[in-house]
Amino acid sequence: MHSLGLAKPARDCRVVVAMSGGVDSAVTAALLVEEGFDVVGITLQLYDHGAARGRKGACCAGQDIHDAARVAERLGIPHYVLDYESRFRKEVIEDFAEAYRRGETPIPCIRCNQRVKFRDLLGTARDLGASALATGHYVRRLIGPDGPELHRARDAARDQSYFLFATTRAELDFLRFPLGELAKGETRALARRFGLAVADKPDSQDICFVPQGSYVRLVEQLRPEAGRPGDIVDMAGRVLGHHRGIAHFTVGQRKGLGIAAAEPLHVLRLDPEERRVVVGPRAALAETRLSLGEVNWLGPSATPGMAVAAKLRSTQLPVGARFFPGGTNADAVLVLDAPAGAVAPGQAAVLYDGERVLGGGWIRR
């Protein structure tokens, strides 16, 4: 397959594989064992395994830890389960609830990669004497003239580069993504060839730490103010109706407003201080100038006004834009070539040059 681009031969290289209990990380481990690497599997327990055991679509708890252990046993590699519950709660779950309190729409998967998997787990892999940390993400790490670059996966339908934009250059030096050239069907076929019990296991769905997909209940427990009732108003501030808490809404939302109107209304803005949901016609969503915070840059040095392709939600196609880097302590600015509807604060804007991830940042209110 490939040697991971490490200086020493495979038999002299320890590689830690982040094993979530799913088919992708299982195949990642199996491929590296087949190549002769000294593979160590690590599974992170991220939240209460009792509540999650047997739940379909969860990851990093109960059943998944069991599945990862079975795969490791099949492959004959050591497998460790690390309790990251407290740091996951602080860095991901609390952050998720706080974002809703601020009237934003968060992406906990990016925070988990950024703050738990690629920071804390990567440090643990180094402590274990590993030469690399390998994951089952569908993304490619290619070597360019200035070192490792992050590129989209070969299989566009599986590409996860949007969720990895916050990966730093130093982390990219140490990370490897063996599945980046494969289609999902090829991964499952490999799992069957390796005799892995998870070959036909469904992919995880929804937000892993939210039981039965009811994130509002979790947000209201952690940030009760996000569940307090308030007014639904039009752009002029006239009250059109009432809501049960801003945690129920995201910018661009059309369904579930409970208002009768002559034309379809969309959520334009959330005002957490006044507990107001501002609604209006779709045309009023037309945004062309966005502020980006916490920008992570992986491309060549950014020049003001450089042309980029910007992905504003994980499920949307990229749109043309111009990027203006922020100065010290200042947000960057992204100016879209044409208005894009439903630009939601708290989502990420990930910037591309063709297949290459240049970087990205968080869309501010």
DSSP string, 21-73: SSHHHHHHHHHHHHHT-EEEEEEEE-S-HHHHTT-TT--SSHHHHHHHHHHHH
Helical H segments across 57-148, by residue range: 62-75, 85-88, 94-101, 108-112, 122-127
Classify 364 in phi/psi space as left (phi over 0), alpha (psi -120 to 50) or beta: beta
In the prediction, which pLDDT does 59 show? 56
Q: Can you read off the two tokens belonging to residue 61?
A: 């708890």
- Report residue 60's pLDDT band, with 50, 70 and 90 as the boundaries: low
What pLDDT score does 130 carry?
A: 98
Question: What's the pLDDT band for 329 if we cut at 50, 70, 90?
Answer: confident
Model pLDDT, residue 61: 59
Mean pLDDT of all residues in 133-142 = 98
Known active-site residue 208: yes
> Do the Cβ atoms of 197 and 71 come closer than 8 Å?
yes
Q: Which of 65-74, 79-88, 158-167, 198-207 has the lowest mean pLDDT?
A: 198-207
Mean pLDDT of 51-79: 78
Average confidence (pLDDT) over 60-84: 92
Per-residue pLDDT at 57 exceeds 90: no
Q: Is the pLDDT of residue 211 over 80?
A: no
* Strand-pair partners of 363: 292
* Lowest-confidence region among 209-223, 240-254, 343-357: 209-223
What is the Cα Rg of the chain in Å?
Answer: 22
Q: Is the pLDDT of residue 332 over 60?
A: yes
Q: Which of 13, 59, 60, 112 is catalytic?
A: 112
Q: Is the pLDDT of residue 53 over 60?
A: no
pLDDT at position 54? 46
For residue 327, pLDDT beyond 90? no
What are the tokens at 214?
A: 């009811």
| Percent of the chain with pLDDT strictly greater than 70 | 95
* Residue 215 in tokens: 């994130």
pTM of the model: 0.92
Exposure string (b/e) for 287-319, b if CB count within 10 Å is 16 or more? beebbbeebbbbbeebeeebebbbbbbbeeeeb
Average pLDDT of the residues of the chain:
93
Task: Give the total residue count for the chain.
Answer: 365
User: Tell me, what's the pLDDT at 341?
Assistant: 79
